[in-house]
Amino acid sequence: MPDSVTRRRTWSLPRQPGLVLSAVLLAAVLLAAVAPGVFTGQDPITGVPAERLRAPSPAHLFGTDETGRDVFARVVHGASLSLRATVLAVLVALVAGAAIGLLAGFRGGWLDAVVMRVVDVLQAVPAILLSLAVVTALGFGTTNVAIAVGVSNLAAFARLMRAEVLRVRSSVFVESARASGVRWPGVLARHVLPNAAGPVLVLATLTFGTAVLEVSALSFLGFGATPPTPEWGALVAGGRNFLATAWWMTTLPGLTVAAVVLATNRLSRALDGERSELR
């Protein structure tokens, strides 16, 4: 039996329960972000004071908070805002970083040297500190948090895209296109970018889990949406003062974030492994 067939069989979902569980969890989270009413009919904003600080139960799966709001409903409704910010952050890092790396790697010379020194500086700064600096300059808000997280991650995309462009640029078909008179924007669009984009897209899936954590961290610090709008990081922060009496307010939203990050990383590793074996 050919090796390629054997390799593809390793992707059989029934043989990888962890991968199946990750896919199901992420599908549920995406459904919650699009249609939260599928999972809960509770109001995430208005609470019932008589039901404040209720422990998890069939009526309130994640318990209630200090104002009687259903924590599960707030987690479900918070998926939309948190995931939108995460997707925007990854898009900012992907588009900006890939464009920088593409130009630097293809043009070379002084442009490559200057751009890569800037990228080195960005990579030398811890991502969370860089995110804090950017969001402080831009101001509070979910969109600004997403942009800040995107900026803090674009250096990795720029470096990877540059490396792939340098690899592809020396290929015979690229040299043939240049020799036949095709201008460099056409060479970039038709030949270099399609052949260099694969690893960068895999990096985008790997970065998604990190972006969820960074967006939640900035929301936890109060840079995200204005209360009482539900957002995962803000939900974790909101229960800090009730850990002794209402542990579920912080623990269960925090476990939700951790589960989403772990599931995303599991799928990302699977995609990265499949790409490596097909190369």
Provide the domain count of the chain.
1
pLDDT band for 153, please (50, 70, 90 cuts): very high
pLDDT of residue 190: 72
Average pLDDT for the chain? 85
pLDDT of 276 reads 56
Any domain includes 194: yes
What integer pLDDT is reported at residue 104 of this predicted model?
A: 86
Residue 177 has pLDDT above 70, yes or no: no
Q: Domain for residue 13, yes or no?
A: no
CATH classification of the domain holding 156: 1.10.3720.10
Res. 262 pLDDT band, cuts 50 70 90: very high
pLDDT tens per residue across span 235-244: 999 888 898 8
Contact between residue 110 and residue 101 where contact means Cβ atoms under 8 Å apart: no
The per-residue pLDDT for 274 is 60
- Domain range spanning residue 130? 18-40+56-278
pLDDT digits (tens, 9 = 90+) for 3-12: 444 444 444 5
State yes or no: pLDDT of 273 exceeds 70: no
Report yes or no on 69 lying in a domain. yes
